[in-house]
């Protein structure tokens, strides 16, 4: 079984530990990996394709080439 949690360090408490214990069989071992989540910009810049697209979009925005989108209008 695989379960992924995205929580803040201050949310790790006894209740959280009990939740993990309840999800997995007691007779098996579990692996726990803890890592920082990248912020949105860092995440988007991981991919070369995204970096190129974001650079191109930023250049176009500086030149005033913007696309206006109206949500909720018919």
What are the pLDDT digits (tens) for 1-37?
A: 888 999 999 999 999 999 999 998 888 899 999 988 8
Average model confidence (pLDDT) for the chain? Answer: 89
pLDDT at 26: 81
pLDDT at 68: 83
Q: What percent of the chain has pLDDT over 90?
A: 47
Convert the pLDDT of each residue in 12-22 to its tens digit.
999 999 999 99
Rg value, the chain, Cα: 21
Is 7:15 a contact under the CB 8 Å cutoff?
A: no
Global pTM? 0.49
């Amino acid at each position: 079984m695989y379960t992924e949690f995205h929580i803040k360090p201050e949310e790790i408490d006894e209740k959280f530990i009990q939740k993990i214990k309840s999800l997995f069989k007691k007779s098996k071992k579990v692996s726990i990996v803890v890592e920082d989540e990248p912020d949105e910009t860092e995440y988007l810049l991981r991919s070369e394709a995204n970096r190129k697209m974001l650079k191109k979009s930023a250049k176009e925005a500086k030149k005033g080439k913007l696309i206006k989108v109206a949500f909720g209008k018919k």
